């Protein structure tokens, strides 16, 4: 693992690191904020999964989460959204290829050799973090924005016991029924739709739910609202009687101005679960 940068930040440290990923077969970069409490021992962990076109850097610099994580003594992990490198397959469209890993393990050509983002987030990166930093991997929460909200919800529901809480900002909520999901799932996983179900938060909620609290914020003026399909997930949450809060926020769009406006609530929401757990 290589240290790219480390900066003092709200009494803690905002670092950026890279490492050779065995599952993605390329170098991967991630950001990690450690609060001051990490100097004295392991601290709880909150994952932030970013959306389409993003790297590790977008949320790290735009969401404003560190000040609230420092207040609660929580570490923040900012992974990249896809593999990178000259030999990594890409596409001219912004919603496929580099910057658009969709947090799945691709099985189709040309994506399969590198686009193993599910295993990277679920297995490889957590092991690396637990080995190298003062993190309490028994106390983890996960959140994300857009494609990252999709990833956060599907990881949380597919990995029972891993995360104590999950939240999302404008998640891609029902990708198997959306044009903004069917394209990517077909490209990465093939046309057998049964293989898509574990990557659809609405379908997962209907079948399995989540053993913990959920918080979802959605901007009512989101320009991608019809593609995100939040009403499908909200309906599934209500039908399952899941412990959860779904908030439609008037006037807000899909940008990081929206995320930054409500990140304090999300960090506090996760802190309640992480320190109670």
Which position has the token pair 């993190």?
135
How far CA 52 is from CA of 132, 171, 267, in Å, comes to 28, 11, 22
CA distance 181 to 178: 5
254 is annotated as an active-site residue: yes
Alpha-carbon span 62 to 102, nearest angstrom: 21
Q: Which of 178, 170, 120 is nearest to 150 (CA)?
A: 170
Among 80, 82, 222, 266, the one annotated catalytic: 222
Rounded Cα distance, 130 and 144, in Å? 21
- Phi/psi for 182 (5° steps) reads -60, -40
The one catalytic residue in 21, 50, 82, 146 is 146
Which position has the token pair 């099985």?
107
Active site residue 114: no
Catalytic residue among 72, 114, 199, 254: 254
How far apart CA 74 and CA 35 sit, in angstroms, is: 6
Q: What's the token pair of residue 86?
A: 């000259």
Residue found under tokens 């739910």: 209
- Tell me which residues are annotated as active site: 146, 222, 254
């Amino acid at each position: 693992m290589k240290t790219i940068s480390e900066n003092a930040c709200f009494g803690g440290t905002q670092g950026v690191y890279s490492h050779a990923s065995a599952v993605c077969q390329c170098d991967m970069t991630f950001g990690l904020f450690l609060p001051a409490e990490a100097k004295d021992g392991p601290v709880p962990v909150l994952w932030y999964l970013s959306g389409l076109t993003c790297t590790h850097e977008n949320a790290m610099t735009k969401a404003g989460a560190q000040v609230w994580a420092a207040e609660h003594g929580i570490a923040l992990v900012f992974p990249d959204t896809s593999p990178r490198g000259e030999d990594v397959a890409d596409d001219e469209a912004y919603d496929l290829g580099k910057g658009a890993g969709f947090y799945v393990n691709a099985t189709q050509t040309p994506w399969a050799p590198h686009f193993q983002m599910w295993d990277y987030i679920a297995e490889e990166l957590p092991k690396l973090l637990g080995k190298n930093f003062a993190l309490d991997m028994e106390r983890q929460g996960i959140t994300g924005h857009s494609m990252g909200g999709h990833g956060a919800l599907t990881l949380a529901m597919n990995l029972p016991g891993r995360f104590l809480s999950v939240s999302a900002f404008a998640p891609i909520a029902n990708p198997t029924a959306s044009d903004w999901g069917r394209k990517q799932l077909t490209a990465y996983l093939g046309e057998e739709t049964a293989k898509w179900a574990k990557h659809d938060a609405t379908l997962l909620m209907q079948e399995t739910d989540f053993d913990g609290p959920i918080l979802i914020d959605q901007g009512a003026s989101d320009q991608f609202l019809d593609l995100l399909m939040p009403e499908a997930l909200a309906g599934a949450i209500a039908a399952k009687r899941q412990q959860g809060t779904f908030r439609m926020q008037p006037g807000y769009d899909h940008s990081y101005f929206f995320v930054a406006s409500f990140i304090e609530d999300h960090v506090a929401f996760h802190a309640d679960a992480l320190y109670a757990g």
